[in-house]
Chain A
Amino acid sequence: MRVGLPRALLYFKYYPVLEQLFRSNGWEPVVSTPTNKRKLEQGLALCEDEVCLPVKVMMGHVRSLAEQDIDALFVPRVVSLERKRYICPKFLGLPDMVRCSLGNEIPLISPTVNLSWSRLKIWQEGLKSCNCLKPWRWWLSLNSAARIHRRHLQAGEPVSPGGGKRVAVLGHCYNIYDEYVNFGLLNTLAQLGVTVLTVENFTREQIEEGARGLSKDLFWSYGRDVVGAAFYCLARGAADGVILVASFGCGPDSLIIEIIQQRFARFDIPLMCLTLDEHAADTGLVTRVEAFVDMLNWRDVC
C-alpha cells in the first residue's frame, strides 16, 4: 500500500520514526517533494486566509500528494507528545481541516497521537484507526519506534566548537528546517561563518534547566523547548546571539516571544525575531540576518 506522507509540520522532527513505522508495517511511504512555490500557492487556495503559514504549506503538500498515485494519506491528529502538555490547537483539528478541503477524494489515515497514553492504548488506537495493521507486527514496530525516538531525542548532537559566533536559531521545527519557508536561513548563517545551534542541539537536561526559569510551566511542548533553550543560552552563555523564528499569527509563539523578549531585555545577549508568512521576501530577511551577524562580530571590536 502506498501511503502519502506530507513533508510538512512535524515530519521534520519525526521522519525517522515515521518512515520506520511505515516500512515495518508494509506501507510504502510516498514523501512529498520539498516545498516550492506551486505547493504554497495550492495551499493558499485551499485554506482560510487567517490560517498560519505552516498549515497553508501543509495543505499544499496534501494537494500535491493527492495528485500522485497513492492509496491513502497520513494526517495524524496529534494531541499531546508529553504528559499534561499540548502542542498547538491546529494539530488537533488538522485531519478535519484536510477532510474539509479535500473531500473524500483519498482515504485519510488519521490516528490520534497522544504519547501520554500507555503503549497498550497507543497500540489499540493504531489498530482502530488504521484497519490494515497486523496486530503483532504493529506491536513490535511500535516498540522499535519508541527506541528509535528515544535515541533521536538523546542525540542532541553536540556542536563542533568551530570558529565564528554561536547563534541559536530557535523556533518550531517546520519553520527552521523547511528551506523554502525560511529562505534557507540556516545556509545563510553558515555562509556568514557562524555556528548555528537549533533546539535539537540542546540536550533535554539543558532545556529543562532553562525552563525552570518560567514562573508557570508552559503547556505547549514546542514552545517550552524554545523558551528552555533561550533561557539556557542566557543563563550559561551558550550562544552569542539568538534568532527567534515564528510564523505570523502563531498563537503560542505570540506569548512565548514576549516572555523571551522581556527576559532578554535585562541581559546582554542580542535577540532578533523573524516573522514568516507567505508575503515575506528573501532580500529583507537576508539583510536583517547579515546585519545581526555583523553586529555580533563588531561587539568584540568596540
Chain B
Amino acid sequence: MLKIAFPHLGYCAIPLRAMLARLGHEVVVPPPISRKTIDLGTRYGPEFACYPLKLGLGNFIEALEMGVDTLLMGGGIGPCRFGYYAQVQKEILASLGYKFRMIVIEPPLGHARQVLAAARELKGKESWLALAEAAWLALFKLRACDDIHRACLYWRPRVVDKTGLSRLYKKALAAVDRAETPGAVREARAAALAAMEKLPQNAVVPPRVALVGEVYLLAEPAANLYIEEKLGNMGIEVVRHVWISEWLKVNIFLDFLRLRRREQAEKLARPHLSCFVGGHGQHSVGETVKAARDGLDGVVHVYPFTCTPEIVARGIMHKIAAKHGLPLACFSLDEHSGEAGFVTRLEAFADIIRANRSKKEAVRHG
C-alpha cells in the first residue's frame, strides 16, 4: 500500500482519488492551491519555468509535508516542457531533503514498458481486472465532472442567482466524488444537470466568447484566476473546447491505437499555422478560426508566461482576430498576476463585447 499524492489539475483530483483509493492506496489530496502553494513553488522552482511546474511543485511539497511517500506525475516526449517536469521536480524535491518515490506515467505509444511498470506499481497486490475497473470508474467520474462543468459554464451567465449556481456546482462535484459505482456517478450527474436547469433565469441571450489556450491554465481555476467564473458573472457565456476527458481520449487512447486523426481545430489552423508546435498552440489558432466562423463574440487566450507554443500561436491569432474584427484578449499568467489588473482588463473586454453586440443589433433592426 502506498501513501500517494498527485498535483492538482482542476477537478482531476476526484477521478484520480477514486482510482487510487479503489486500488487500496492511502490517497492524500494536496490542499487546494493557495498563496502558500504558489510561494513554495516559486521559491524552489526554476525562475523561468512555466507556472504549472511551479504549482505542481508547491502541491508536492505540501503533500510531502503531510507524510506522503509516493508521488504520481505525468510525462511526455516534447517539444513542450511538460515532458521533463517530473525529472526537474524530482531533483528539486530530493535536494530539499525529502524522501519519496515518484511514479511517472509516460504516453503509452513508444513507452509501453514504462507504462506497464508504472501500472504494475500502482496496481500493487490487486488484480489487473481491479486496475481496469478502477480506471473505468475514474474515467466515468472525469466525464461526469466535465459535463457538470460544461453545464455550469452554460448556465452561469443565464441564471439570476450566481452564488446559488456555484453552491450547486460544488455540491454536484462532491456527489460525484462520493459515488462508488458508475451507476451512482451517472445519477449524480443527471441530478446536478437537472437542478441547474431549474434555477431561475434571465431572459437575455448572453454574448459568447471562446476560452482557448494551454490546457493546465484552462483546467485549473486557481491558475487562471477563476476566469470562467468571472466572465460568467459578468453575463458572458464561456465556450471551451479543450476538456481533459477529450484530451485523454485523443492523445492517449487513440494515439496508442494509432487511430489518432487530425482534430477539427488542427485542420482549421493549418492555413495559418501548418504544423504542430507543441502543447496546444495549434489548437488555440484553430479555435480562434472556429470562433470567427461560428460567429462568437470574442476570444480569450490564457497561457503561462514563457509558454513557447502559445507565444507562437498568439502572434498568428492576433492577425486572424484583426482580420475578422473579433475582440481578442490575451492573458499570460504566472505568480505575479495581480487580481485587480486582471479584473479591470476583463471588464474592459466585456464592455467591448457588449458594445459590439448592441452595434450589431442596431444594424439588424435598421
Q: Which residues of A contact B (CB under 8 A)?
A: 47-48, 50-52, 77, 79, 84-90, 92-93, 95-97, 100-101, 112, 214-216, 218-220, 248-255, 257-259, 262, 265
Whether B48 contacts A97 by the Cβ 8 Å rule is no
5 CB contacts below 8 A, A to B, read A48-B315, A48-B318, A89-B312, A258-B49, A258-B91
Whether B312 contacts A96 by the Cβ 8 Å rule is yes
Q: Does B309 count as interface, using CB distance less than 8 angstroms?
A: yes
The minimal Cβ–Cβ distance linking B318 to chain A, given in whole angstroms, is 8
- Residue of A48, A92, A219, A257 near B277 (CB, 8 A) is A92
**CB-CB < 8 A to A48: which residues of B?**
311, 314-315, 318
- Residue of B48, B49, B84, B278 near A216 (CB, 8 A) is B84
Closest B residue to A216 by beta carbon equals B87
- Residue of A89, A216, A220, A259 near B279 (CB, 8 A) is A89
**CB-CB < 8 A to B309: which residues of A?**
89, 93
- Looking at A77, A85, A220, A254, the one whose CB has the most chain B CB atoms below 10 A away is A254
Whether B332 contacts A50 by the Cβ 8 Å rule is yes
**Complex CA–CA separation, A41 to B137 (angstroms):** 56
Whether A96 contacts B48 by the Cβ 8 Å rule is no
Whether A220 contacts B46 by the Cβ 8 Å rule is no
Whether B272 contacts A96 by the Cβ 8 Å rule is yes
Chain B interfacial residues counted at CB < 8 A: 45
Whether B87 contacts A254 by the Cβ 8 Å rule is no
The minimal Cβ–Cβ distance linking A211 to chain B, given in whole angstroms, is 13
- Residue of B50, B78, B81, B315 near A101 (CB, 8 A) is B315
Q: Does B342 count as interface, using CB distance less than 8 angstroms?
A: no
**CB-CB < 8 A to A250: which residues of B?**
48, 306
The minimal Cβ–Cβ distance linking B311 to chain A, given in whole angstroms, is 5
- Residue of B46, B278, B307 near A255 (CB, 8 A) is B46
Q: Ordered nearest first, which 3 A-B pairs have the shortest CB separation?
A: A219-B78, A254-B48, A93-B312
**Complex CA–CA separation, A254 to B305 (angstroms):** 12
Q: Known A-B contacts: A252-B81, A254-B49, A258-B49. Give 17 more (CB < 8 A).
A: A48-B314, A50-B306, A86-B79, A93-B309, A96-B272, A96-B316, A97-B315, A97-B316, A100-B272, A101-B315, A215-B91, A219-B83, A251-B307, A254-B46, A255-B53, A255-B81, A259-B91
Knowing A51-B315, A100-B316, A101-B315, the reply to whether A92 touches B92 (Cβ < 8 A) is no
**B292-317 residues at the A interface, CB under 8 angstroms:** 305-309, 311-316
**CB-CB < 8 A to B179: which residues of A?**
none
**CB-CB < 8 A to A51: which residues of B?**
311, 315
Closest B residue to A89 by beta carbon equals B278
**CB-CB < 8 A to B275: which residues of A?**
77, 79, 92-93, 112
**CB-CB < 8 A to A249: which residues of B?**
48, 305-306
Q: Does B202 count as interface, using CB distance less than 8 angstroms?
A: no
**CB-CB < 8 A to A252: which residues of B?**
81
Whether A92 contacts B79 by the Cβ 8 Å rule is yes
